A and B are shown apart, each in its own frame.
Chain A
Amino acid sequence: MDALPSLHKHGSSMASNSSGGGSDRQRIAQQRLRIIAGHLRRPVDVDSTILAAECKAQDSKTDVSSEGKTVPRRRQEIMKWNGWGYSDTKFLFNKKGQAEFTGKRYKLSGMIMPALKDWLEDTFGTNLQHKSPATPILTSSAVQPPTLNEAFVEELKSTGIPFSHDAEDRVFRAHGHCLHEIFALREGKVGRVPDLVVWPNCHNDVVRIVELACKHNVCLIPYGGGTSVSSGLECPPEETRSIVSLDTSQMSRILWIDEKNLTAHMEAGIVGQDLERLLNESGYCTGHEPDSMEFSSLGGWVATRASGMKKNIYGNIEDLVIRVKMVTPQGVIEKSCLGPRMSTGPDIHHFIMGSEGTLGVVTEVTMKIRPMPEYQKYGSVVFPNFEQGVACLREVAKQRCAPASIRLMDNEQFKFGHALKPQVSSMFTSFLDGLKTFYITKFKGFDPNCLCVATLLFEGHREKVLQHEKQVYDIAAQFGGLAAGEDNGQRGYMLTFVIAYLRDLGMDYYVIGESFETSVPWDRVLDICRNVKLRIIQECKDKGVQFQPLASCRATQTYDSGACVYFYFAFNYRGLSDPVHVFEEVEHAAREEILANGGSLSHHHGVGKLRKEWMREAVSNVGMGMLKSVKDYVDPNNIFGNRNLL
C-alpha cells in the first residue's frame, strides 16, 4: 500500500486552467510519468488483450490496472469507521476557533474557512462550546460474536478465497451512510452486522461463493463502495442465518479496453476514481461521475441505477452499460454479444440494474468509454431568484444545449457555498470580491436573500466549448442571469465532495442532516422545491426542534421533460431526547411531500429499505408482482437476503 496513488478529486486532475499550486504541478508530472510508464509496459495492442482469464496470482501479470489499489481489504486503515471518507481528512475548528479542512487530498485541504463558524452559528444556532463528540474507538464488546455456518466456512477455506470475521471488518460492512447509521456508530452502537466478510478476487471466486452460500443456506449481502444512502446495506435484524458480506473491492481491474469500439471491460468492484484515473492514463474516460465516485463502485452503480454529474454528455449508467455479468443463485446471467442495441424482449439488463443486490452480484461490466475531453471549463451564473434560475434551466433543456453539467443552487446553498470560501490570500482578491458583490446586489439590484447560482461545466473541443458557453450564457441573460465566473462554478462542484465531510463536523456540534433526491416534471420543479422545504420546516417545528432547520435544494440534472432535485436538510438537535427518531419522521414526511407533489421515489439513490414502504405505490401491484416473480425465480431461497426494494 505504499504506492498509494494520488487521491485527488476529479476536478483538479483535468482542469488545466485551474492548476495553481506547486504540489499540483508535481502531481501532474508524476501522473504523466505514470502514463508513459504504462504505455511502455502495456502489451502491444490493447484491444486484442484479454486479461486475467485466470484470476489467481494476477500480481505477477501485467494488466491494465497494474497500479496499486485504492481500497484495501481493511478499509478502516484509510477510512473512517464512523464517518465519511478518509481518516486523514476532516473539518475541525482549530485553536483560533477557525474552521479548517485537514489532509492533503482535496483542493480545499489544509485551508481555513473563516466564514464557516458564523454560518454554522447563524444557520443552526450552534455553539462551539457545546460539542457532541463521537465515540473514538469501536469497542469489540459492542459487536455480537459472529454466527458462523461452520460447514460453509470450512468449504470456503478450501477455496483459498480470503475472508475475515474480525469485528472491525464486519462492522464496517454493516452500514451505508444514512444519518441514522452514522449516528448510531458515533454513539458506539452496533446492531446486526455481517458474520463474515469475504473478498473474492474475480468472477469465478464469486461463482464459488454463491454456490457455497446456496449449498449451506447462507445469506449473502454484496458490498461495493459502501456509500448507500437507502439503508441498503443494513443487515435485516430478523435474519437468522449466517450473513456473509461479499466485498467486491478486490475485483477492481480493467480487463480490457477496446479502442475500436470505444468500450472497456471491468471488474465490478472498481471504484469510480480508479476507473477514471486508469482510463485517463490510456486517454479515455467513462464520463460517469456520481458525487460519490471517490468511493462508490461500478457494481454498485449498476445495482442502483446510478446517475453521473455529466450525464448530459455521457449518459446515466443505463446508457453506458453494454453488457453485464451477474452471478445469481440460478447461475450467471449475461448477454451473448456486444451489439449496441437489441430487440430481444424486455432488456434483461433492466432486471439487473436497480436490483440492489437482491438477485445476485454484478461481477463484470462492459461499458462505453470516450476519449478524454480536450478542454474543460467551469462557469457560473447568478440569478435574481430561484424562479428565474429554474426557468433558465428549463429553457436550456428545451433547446437541448445543456452543458456537461448544469446545477442550480437555491439561496441557502449559495450562502453555504460562501461559508466555505477559503481565506483569501491577497487584499486584491478580497477587494475584487467586494466589488463583485457590490455590482450584483447594489448595481443590479439582486436581493442577497433571494439570488441563486447555477454552476456549469463545459467539456469538449475548445472552440465548441466556447461556442456552447456563449449559447448558454445568452439564454441565462434572458432570465436575468449574470455570469459570475469560473471560480464560483468550480467551488460549487468541489462542495459536492466535501459536503459529506461537513456532516461529520455538524455532528460534532449537535447538527444532524441528510440529503435526498427525486426527479420531477418541469412544471412542478418550483412547487416541489417550495413545498418540501416548507414541509421540512413545519415538521421540525411540530416535532419540537428548537431551531429553524436548514432546508435547501438544488436542481442537479436536467432532462427533456423534467429535472432531478436534491434536498438538503439539517437541524440542531439540542434539547431533543430522540433526535434520530425526529429526523426520520421529518425525512419521512418530506418524502411524502415529494410524492404528493409529483416527484419520484428516487432518481438515483435507490429504494433500499428506507423507501420500501412506497415501492408498491410507485410501481403498482402488477409491477410489484413482476419484480417479485423474478426474485422468486432467480433466488427462491433468498440467498441474497438484504431485503431491499421488495
Chain B
Amino acid sequence: MTDTCQHSGGAGPENEEEFVDILEERRLRSDLGHALRTFRPSPYKGGPSCSAADLPKIVLESQHLRYVVKEIATETGASPEEVREEASAILEEMSQNLQLGFIRLLGYIFTKVFKRLFTSINVNMEGLKALQQAIQESPVILLPNHRSYVDFLVISYIMFTYDIPVPVIAAGIPLAGMKIVGAIIRRSGAFFIRRAIGSDKLYWAVMSEYVRTIIKTGFAPLEFYVEGLRSRTLKSLMPKLGMMHMVLEPYFKGEVYDIQLVPISLSYDRVLEESLLALELLGVPKLKESTTGLLKASKVLQDDYGIMHVNFGRPMSVRRLCRGKINLRQYNLIPRDLPQKPRAEAQACVSWLAHLMVRIQEEGSLISPWSLMACLLLQAPTAVLTEQGLPWHQLTEKTIWLRKLALDFGARLNWPAQVPDPDVMSSAVALHHSVVRREAGRVYLVREEEPERKRPISPEEDVIRSAAAVLMMVSYRNQSLHLFVRPALLATAIGVTKTAQRDELFAFFCFLRDVFSNEFIFIPGESSQDFEEACVLLRKCGAVHISEQEVTASDAGLEALSFLQALLQPFIDSYQVMFRFLCEDKVHVFAEKQFLPAVRNLATKLILSGELHTYETLSSDTQKNVLSALRRLETLAKLESSEQNEYRVVNKAAVRRIGDILSGKIPPQMLQAAPDAKL
C-alpha cells in the first residue's frame, strides 16, 4: 500500500526543496550575538509543561516503576528502598539536564567550528517550518541519520537558531564518560543510554518510563538514531527497534493523540572520520571516545569538508502511518502501567515504521557528484587505479552518463547547476584529495604513505594498504547505493538467471532481497512493491521491456544493466567467500572474534591469488552482515550461553544452497515465488 514515491510525504525531488546556507548569516554577523540571541520557541500546546527537575520525580513515582521495583525486590530479596535507590541512580546516570546557557555556549563553539570545516550547511527551510508547526501540535520525534560525530547536536544548533524547542537526545553512554564534554552534552539535552541492556529489567523500566514521560508530557522533542549508531560505512543500518517501540508506546496506549515522526537526512560531501572509519572496518580497533582523543582529532579541523546538507523530512503522523497496521484494543485489557511484552503485531508495526523511516532518510539525503564517481571508480580493477590510473575523460563521460541514470531513478543530486560539469567533477576530486589524485589526465587511488621501515612491506600488508583506500571510496559509493539497489537486484536477477519470465525474476529478486536485507534497507513485507519499483525504474531508463509475463533486457540498456550488476557484484563475491568459508569441514562453532580475522586472511589470500576482485570482503561490516543474514535465515545459530558472540553452523547444506542459487547453479524455477518466503 505504501508506494515509495509517497514515503517522503510529497517532498520528492520533483518538488525540489529550497536549501538555505545557515552559515552565511553567521559569517556576516557576530558569533557571540548569535549565541546570545533571544530564544523564543513555541512549545507543544497539548501537554502540561514540566520542568527538567520534575522529570525524574515523575518517572520515579510512576506506577510502572513502582510496580517493577516491587517485582524486582521480591525476586532478588532486596528491599524495595534499595531497588528504588538503584533506579534513582540509573536515572541520574541517564538524565539530561537541558539548559539554555549550554546551548548558547555550544552554539558559539559550533559556529566557530562549522565555519572552519564546511563551506556551507544547507538546510531546507520548508522542512523547518513544518517542524515548527508540528512541535506545537503533538509530541515530535526527530530521527536523523548518523554519519559523523559532527552530527551530534547539529540539529539542536539549527533548532536554537530558528526558535524551535531544543530536543533531548538519546546518546550512547560512552559519550557521558568524556570529561567536560560529557557534562556539556548532558546540559545540551543529551540523555545517556547503555548499549547492551539485555535483560536488565530495572534499566529497561527506568529508561522506557523516562522516554515515555518525555513524550507524554510533551517536555521537548525527542531525538534519537533509529539506526542505533553511527554508520561506519555511510550506508544505512538496519533500524534498531527497542527505542522506536518505547517512543511509539504512548501512542499505542492512547496516552497521546498522535506522535509526529520527522526523518532527517544529513549528507556530507566529505566525512571528517573517513580514514578512521576505514581502518576500523579493517580491524584496527575503534578509539575509545575521550576528550583528549577529540583534541588530537583537532588537526582534521584544518581541512575542507565541503557542504553539509540537513534535509528535514515532512512530519509524519504515527496515527496515519499505523492505520490498519495495529489494533490498539489489545492494550485495553491490561493496565497500561504494567510492563508488557509487545505482541507480534506491535513488533511488526514498529519494525515496518522504523524501516520506513530509514528509507525516507535515504530518499532525503543528497547525492554528491563524488559519490557517483566513486561508484564508477570502484568498478575499475584496483590495480589499475593504483598503478596506471583511470583516464580522466573516461571517468567524466561515465559520470555524466551516471548522473542521467541517477536522475531517472529520482535522485536528489547535489550537482551545482551554475558550474560547468568538468569543474564540478574537478572540485569533487580536489575535495577528496585523501582518496584520489588527478595527474596528467588520469585519476589514481591515493594510498597511505609507505612508512619508513627496514624490511620491505609484505604483500599482505600491501593489500591492507590498498584496502584502506578502497574502503574509503566504498563508503562514498555507499551514499548513493540506496538509489540503485532495487534496480540492481533486478539487473542481477536478469544477469544470473538469464530468464525473462517475470515470476521467475520476481522469485530471484525476492531471494536476493532476502539474502541482502542486512546490507540494504528493505521495508518488511513490501517485496512486491520493491520489485515493481525496480521494473518501473529500469523501464524508465530504457533498460528493459516489460509485458504482463516478461521482463526482457533491451539492447540499449546493456550499459545500465551491467553497471547495476557490477554495483552489486562486490557484495555477492564477498558473501560467496564467506559461505565457502563456513561450509568448510572444520568450521562448526566459532566466535565472531575468530571469524573476522579468519575471513580477512582468506580474502587476502584470494585477492593476492587473483581469485577475488573486491576488497570489500575485508570489511568487518560486510562480515558481520553475513553472520546476521545467515542467522536470520536460520542456517547459523548464536549460542545463548556464550559470553562472546559464538555461532554454530546449523545447516551447511542450506548455506551451500544459498551460494549455489546466488551463482546461478540452481535455476530460478526451483525458488518459491511467494513474497518474503523463507528460503
Contacts and interface: CB of A to CB of B under 8 A. Distances in A.
Task: Decide whether A and B assemble into one complex.
Answer: yes
Interface of A: 387, 523-524, 527-528, 530-531, 534-535, 595-598, 617
A535 B257 contact: yes
A541 to B, nearest CB: 12
Interface in B217-257: 254-255, 257
A531 B336 contact: no
A531 B257 CA distance: 5
A120 to B, nearest CB: 26
A618 to B, nearest CB: 10
Contact of A528 (B46, B48, B254): B254
Given A387-B48, A595-B329, A531 B254 contact: yes
A596 B255 contact: no
B48 A524 contact: no
Contacts of B258: 534
B332 A598 contact: yes
B456 interface: no
Contacts of A617: 329
B53 interface: no
Nearest to B335: A523
A387 B336 CA distance: 18
Given A595-B329, A596-B328, A523 B336 contact: yes
Interface of A is mostly: helix
Interface in B315-342: 328-329, 331-332, 335-337
State which size class the interface on B falls in.
10 to 19
A205 B48 CA distance: 62
Nearest to A535: B257
A530 B329 contact: no
Given A534-B257, A597-B332, 11 more contacts: A523-B335, A523-B337, A524-B254, A527-B254, A527-B255, A528-B254, A534-B258, A595-B329, A597-B254, A598-B254, A598-B331
A598 B332 CA distance: 5
Interface of B: 46, 48, 254-255, 257-258, 328-329, 331-332, 335-337
B259 to A, nearest CB: 12
Contacts of B254: 524, 527-528, 531, 596-598
B58 to A, nearest CB: 14
Contacts of B48: 387
B47 to A, nearest CB: 10
Contacts of A597: 254, 328, 332
Contact of B257 (A524, A530, A595, A598): A530
A523 B48 CA distance: 17
A595 B48 CA distance: 25
21 contacts: A523-B335, A523-B337, A524-B254, A524-B336, A527-B255, A528-B254, A530-B46, A530-B257, A531-B254, A531-B257, A534-B257, A534-B258, A535-B257, A595-B329, A596-B254, A596-B328, A596-B329, A597-B254, A598-B331, A598-B332, A617-B329
A85 B257 CA distance: 37
A387 to B, nearest CB: 7
A535 B329 CA distance: 16
Contacts, number: 28
Nearest to A520: B332
Nearest to A528: B254
A598 B255 CA distance: 11
Contacts of A528: 254
B435 to A, nearest CB: 51
A595 B337 CA distance: 19
Contacts of B329: 595-596, 598, 617
Contacts of A598: 254, 329, 331-332
B139 to A, nearest CB: 13
Contacts of A534: 257-258
B366 to A, nearest CB: 33
9 tightest A-B contacts by CB? A598-B332, A596-B328, A597-B254, A534-B257, A527-B254, A531-B257, A527-B255, A531-B254, A596-B329
Contacts of A524: 254, 336
Most buried by B among A527, A528, A617: A527
Contacts of B336: 523-524
A109 B257 CA distance: 41
A598 B254 CA distance: 9
Contacts of B335: 523
Nearest to A598: B332
Nearest to B328: A596
A597 B252 CA distance: 9
A587 B332 CA distance: 21
Contacts of A535: 257
A534 B332 CA distance: 20
Contacts of B332: 597-598
A598 B258 CA distance: 16
A61 B254 CA distance: 60
B536 to A, nearest CB: 29
Nearest to B336: A523
A32 B257 CA distance: 55
Contacts of A387: 48
A596 B329 CA distance: 5
Contacts of A530: 46, 257
Nearest to A385: B48
B336 to A, nearest CB: 7
A523 B254 CA distance: 11
B84 to A, nearest CB: 22
B586 to A, nearest CB: 56
Contacts of A596: 254, 328-329
A82 B331 CA distance: 42
A57 B333 CA distance: 56
A302 B328 CA distance: 33
B79 to A, nearest CB: 28
Nearest to B331: A598
A534 to B, nearest CB: 4
A530 B328 CA distance: 16
A534 B335 CA distance: 23
A535 B257 CA distance: 8
A523 B331 CA distance: 13
Nearest to A524: B254
A100 B214 CA distance: 49
Nearest to A537: B257
A552 to B, nearest CB: 16
A462 B257 CA distance: 45
Nearest to B216: A527
A276 to B, nearest CB: 37
Contacts of B255: 527
A531 B254 CA distance: 7
A578 to B, nearest CB: 23
B253 to A, nearest CB: 8
A531 B46 CA distance: 11
A595 B330 CA distance: 10
Nearest to B252: A596
A497 B571 CA distance: 74
Contacts of A523: 335-337
A13 to B, nearest CB: 42
B212 to A, nearest CB: 13
Nearest to B330: A596
B521 to A, nearest CB: 30
Most buried by B among A387, A530, A617: A530
B383 to A, nearest CB: 61
A611 to B, nearest CB: 15
A131 to B, nearest CB: 36
A394 to B, nearest CB: 14
Contacts of A595: 329
A122 to B, nearest CB: 20
A535 B138 CA distance: 13
A344 B46 CA distance: 52
A412 to B, nearest CB: 16
A597 B256 CA distance: 11
A537 B335 CA distance: 28
Most buried by A among B254, B258, B336: B254
A234 to B, nearest CB: 28
Nearest to A597: B254
